[in-house]
Amino acid sequence: MTDKLIIFDTTLRDGEQSPGASMTKDEKLRIARQLERLKVNVIEAGFAASSNGDFEAVRAIAQAIKDSTVCSLARANDRDISRAAEALKGGNSTRIHLFLATSALHMEKKLRMTPDQVFEQARLSTRFARNLSEDVEFSPEDGYRSDPDFLCRVLEAVIDAGATTINIPDTVGYAIPELYGNFILDLRKRIPNSDRAIWSVHCHNDLGMAVANSLAGVKIGGARQIECTINGLGERAGNCALEEVVMSVRTRKDYFGLSLDIDTSQIVAASRLVSQTTGFVVQPNKAVVGANAFAHASGIHQDGVLKARDTYEIMRAEDVGWTANKIVLGKLSGRNAFKQRLHELGIEMESEAEINAAFAKFKELADRKSDIFDEDILALVMDESVTAEHEHYRLLALSQRSETGERPHAKVAFAAGDQELHAESDGNGPVDASLKAIETQVKSGAEMLLYSVNAITSGSTESQGEVTVRLQHGGRVVNGVGSDPDIVVASAKAYLSALNKLHSKNERVAAQG
């Protein structure tokens, strides 16, 4: 076994399955470039066969990424595999990731296949994939709850058929660390050709043990790949968090004895980018990337840290990128400086017109806010008003009146395609009035599942507010994110952003692994 641990990031595929976390091709590309800077070994870019949008995103990422392996998920059938291979064609380093359920429950209730049928499909689909790619990963979905004897039979066959990585998913987050580690160890001991593949772990966090289970799979089971997501993003309770497993292995190298390729100084930047793109706010006490991760409130702790940092700190904040939050630009900064900062943040714009539009928004923000941080720039370029020509709805103007003892009132002007609409409404507050005014014209009928406000940068009332709105309509759940120093304007932007996603006809087919 190698002493190197492979980090397989599935933020763009499994993470995107969080309700409302679906991303555009450009957003996926931006995150993929940050993952490449983070030096992630494998980037699972999506599920190419699920939709044309996902296919195009996988293809764009495969063409753009040079230093990481780009992977596409595929069900164990020829159509999905061919679609994945087509999307990955021409990439510098690519992988096809097959999955097929092997637990009795999934085979009977979901697949409606016999174990012999599943065995044969796994073997044949792996052989077909290996003819199209030298790098093939096979995942027995719900593997941890599968019969070990049947699982051994299937995995031995797919390794013989050419699988180079074997992943054991704890699809429903049912595992316990010691049991999961020993489960993988037992499989590796029993399968005669187990040494011909790299073993991988993929754990969900339903019982809060995804990181612990993954590390047990490595330490006890001998796995050498961990599948994870930035901020632990994922459906239900999420996935194993990349930042936690990476810093665990790095901080406790004395115990794990493993090396990593990861540039940990890029962790916080990746966390912020994923959070601002998806609208999923990182909780303050989140390990490694939470705002309080390196804060010390206790007087005893503060005294100890001042005297010697290692009294209470097992990691340095700068090692994971916290010191990167510096003032970088202001109102006197020129276009070239702005363009260079975009490049450093991994933001690649397709045309000079887009750069000019973003720079104009930057100058407008700089007139209202003296200090511009990296987070402000990320929020600015993600603001759909910068690329308004691509959006159906966009905010044009907003005014609102709110006085003590008087019912708040808002007037909103916004574009819907080529049409300019004007609306006004009362509400319980200025935000409520503004959103109700928009809805009087749009008449979406969507149910609001979430409204949240977060300060993009801390320490000043001048900070931009970032608003997340989650809407549900017709079985679809979407997130909209908007930012502005005026929280009412940010709320209107977020609402229109969510409406744009509902208006989009792009559909995804969810898959589990």
- The pLDDT of residue 389: 46
Q: How confident is the model at residue 22 (pLDDT cuts 50, 70, 90)?
A: confident
Range of weakest confidence among 116-125, 126-135, 274-283, 445-454: 274-283
467-478 average pLDDT score: 89
User: What average pLDDT does this structure show over 15-42?
Assistant: 91
The predicted pLDDT at position 328 comes to 58
- How many domains are there within the chain? 4
- Mean pLDDT is lowest, of 56-70, 239-253, 257-271, 385-399, for 385-399
Both 392 and 376 in one domain: the answer is no
Residue 285 lies in a domain: no
How does residue 29 score in pLDDT terms, banded at 50, 70 and 90?
A: very high
Residue 404 lies in a domain: yes
Does the pLDDT at position 509 exceed 70? no
Which residues constitute the domain of residue 484? 388-503
When pLDDT is cut at 50, 70 and 90, the band that residue 465 belongs to is: confident
Per-residue model confidence (pLDDT) at position 376: 79
Q: Looking at 57-71, 336-350, 433-447, which range is the least confident one?
A: 336-350
Question: What stretches of 443-486 show up as alpha helix (H) in DSSP?
Answer: none
Residues 370 and 405 reside in one and the same domain: no
Please tell me whether residues 353 and 302 are part of one structural domain.
no
CA distance 160 to 126: 9
CATH number of the CATH domain containing 433:
3.30.160.270
Strands (E), 189-309: 198-203, 225-228
Q: Is 159 helix (H, G, I), strand (E, B) or coil?
A: helix
pLDDT averaged over every residue in the chain: 89
> pTM (2 decimals)?
0.84
Within a domain: residue 513? no
> In terms of C-beta density within 10 A (0-12 exposed, 13-18 middle, 19 or more buried), how is residue 114 classed?
exposed
Residue 379, pLDDT > 80, answer: no
High-pLDDT (> 90) share of the chain, %: 65
pLDDT for the residue 84? 98
Check residue 346 and give its pLDDT. Answer: 66
197 pLDDT more than 90: yes
For the cut 70, the answer to whether the pLDDT of residue 390 exceeds it is no
* Closest listed residue to residue 40, CA positions, set 48, 31, 49: 31
What is the rounded CA–CA span in Å between residue 421 and residue 135? Answer: 53
Q: pLDDT value at position 355?
A: 83
pLDDT (mean) for 156-175: 98
Residue 468 in domain? yes
Q: What is the largest CA-CA distance in the chain?
A: 78
Query: pLDDT band for position 499 (50/70/90)?
Result: very high
Residue-level pLDDT at 510: 47
What residue has token string 């840290």? 305
Statement to judge: residues 170 and 194 lie in one domain:
yes
pLDDT per residue as tens digits for the range 264-306: 999 998 998 999 888 888 888 999 998 888 764 445 554 554 5
- Band (218; pLDDT cuts 50, 70, 90): very high
233 and 309 housed in the same domain: no
Total Cβ atoms within 10 A of residue 397:
12
Per-residue pLDDT of 342-368, as tens digits, reads 877 767 776 788 888 888 888 888 887
What average pLDDT does this structure show over 122-141?
A: 98
**Statement to judge: residues 230 and 142 lie in one domain:** yes
Q: Are residues 369 and 410 in the same domain?
A: no
**Residue 177 above 90 pLDDT?**
yes
289 within domain boundaries: no
In a domain, residue 488? The reply is yes
Q: Are residues 300 and 262 in the same domain?
A: no
Position 464 scores a pLDDT of 82
Please check whether residue 329 lies inside any domain of the structure: no
The answer for residues whose C-beta is within 8 angstroms of residue 293's C-beta and 6 or more apart is 285, 286, 287, 317
Residues 305 and 214 in one domain: no
Regarding whether 370 and 415 lie in a shared domain, the answer is no
Which among 77, 71, 123, 76 has a CA at the least distance from the CA of 96?
A: 71
Residues 226 and 306 in one domain: no
pLDDT for residue 2: 62
Is 211 within a domain?
yes
Which of 187-191, 422-426, 493-497, 499-503 has the weakest average pLDDT? 499-503
- Exposure b/e, 486-507, CB count within 10 A at least 16 = b: ebbbbbbbbbbbbbbbbbeeee
Q: Are residues 182 and 259 in the same domain?
A: yes
Q: Is pLDDT of 222 > 50?
A: yes
Give the Cα separation of 440 and 424 in Å (integer). 8
Closest CA to 190 of 244, 215, 136, 153: 153
